[in-house]
Amino acid sequence: MNSPAQTIPLLEVRNLSKHFGAVRALNDFSMVVRPGEVVALAGDNGAGKTTLIKAISGVFQPTGGEILLRGQPVTFATPHEAREKGIETIYQDLALADNLSIGANIFLGREPMRKAFGFLPVLDRKAMAVAAKKTMGRLDFHVSRLDAPVSNFSGGQRQAVAIGRAVYWDAQILIMDEPTAALGVPEQRKVISLIHQLKAQGRGVIFISHNLQDIFAVSDRIVVLRRGVQAGERKISETNHDEVVKLMVGG
């Protein structure tokens, strides 16, 4: 078996830049994410984290540089194109429809249809429920009522639904923006354990967080952004909180 260092990265960002007029939000930034690897992206407010993930996920067109998926250069005109290629970004708002079930959320905008009376196209609710059960089971996620509206669920459970949706559609790279922010400690642990599962399934995760404890609990490597440039990259096993904070603030 190849060691992670020998495998082709799932995602590589080479010298990526994004300028907004005179503002260099991202400048000549490079990083890789290998299969089964969690890479934390850290940086102070305004460091360029959101700009980077939006450039990777097709929201912004980069001003310069390259994005490679499994070694092949790609460009994404829209977030939809990035998603089709297996890059799923989970923003803090989770983009869930609160009044709908887990199954309906998994299939939001991509609903499976069946033919009633042999010709009438109707929503295939059964297929949605079966997929929801299977997908959430794979994530070792259990709630008493899978058909309840997701507004009934806790923050951690809702995060799990957003992750479940990405997993169902076979995202190979999950970009998670502050997934543990605004959660209580037990819920944070659940989300961390979900990320461990994504890793065990060979997916790549970019984990954005201000919480160093969470970063150290789940990541293999950390990449620090400062004022749009890469301020440092460390293996988690070879660094500590103090060093990361120094990289973030500079000086």
Range 24-43, binding ligand ATP (CB under 6 A): 25, 43
**Toward ligand ATP, which CB reaches closer, 50 or 63?**
50
Q: How many residues does the chain have?
A: 251
For 100, phi and psi rounded to 5 degrees? -105, 160
**Toward ligand ATP, which CB reaches closer, 39 or 167?**
39
Could you say whether residue 45 binds ligand ATP (CB under 6 A)? Answer: yes
Each residue 49-88 as x (binds ligand ATP by CB under 6 A) or -, in order, gives xxx-------------------------------------
The minimum distance between CB 53 and ligand ATP, in angstroms, equals: 8
Please state the three-class secondary structure of the chain as a single string: CCCCCCCCCCEEEEEEEEEECCEEEEEEEEEEECCCCEEEEECCCCCCHHHHHHHHCCCCCCCEEEEEECCEEECCCCHHHHHHCCEEEECCCCCCCCCCCHHHHHCCCCCCEEEECCCEEEECHHHHHHHHHHHHHHCCCCCCCCCCCHHHCCHHHHHHHHHHHHHHCCCCEEEEECCCCCCCHHHHHHHHHHHHHHHHCCCEEEEECCCHHHHHHHCCEEEEEECCEEEEEEEHHHCCHHHHHHHHHCC
Could you say whether residue 158 binds ligand ATP (CB under 6 A)? Answer: no
**Toward ligand ATP, which CB reaches closer, 50 or 239?**
50
For 17, phi and psi rounded to 5 degrees? -130, 150
Binding segment for ligand ATP (CB under 6 A), chosen from 17-25, 31-39, 78-86, 147-155, is: 17-25
**Toward ligand ATP, which CB reaches closer, 82 or 104?**
82
Binding segment for ligand ATP (CB under 6 A), chosen from 48-56, 122-130, 158-166, 189-197, is: 48-56
In whole angstroms, give the CA distance from residue 30 to residue 66. Answer: 9
Could you say whether residue 23 binds ligand ATP (CB under 6 A)? Answer: yes
Binding segment for ligand ATP (CB under 6 A), chosen from 47-55, 112-120, 131-139, 159-167, is: 47-55
The minimum distance between CB 222 and ligand ATP, in angstroms, equals: 14
**Toward ligand ATP, which CB reaches closer, 49 or 221?**
49
The minimum distance between CB 187 and ligand ATP, in angstroms, equals: 21
Could you say whether residue 48 binds ligand ATP (CB under 6 A)? Answer: yes
**Toward ligand ATP, which CB reaches closer, 34 or 54?**
54
In whole angstroms, give the CA distance from residue 38 to residue 217. Answer: 11
Could you say whether residue 95 binds ligand ATP (CB under 6 A)? Answer: no
Could you say whether residue 181 binds ligand ATP (CB under 6 A)? Answer: no
Which tokens is 219 given?
């990541």
Which chain residues interact with ligand ATP by CB under 6 A?
20, 23, 25, 43, 45-51
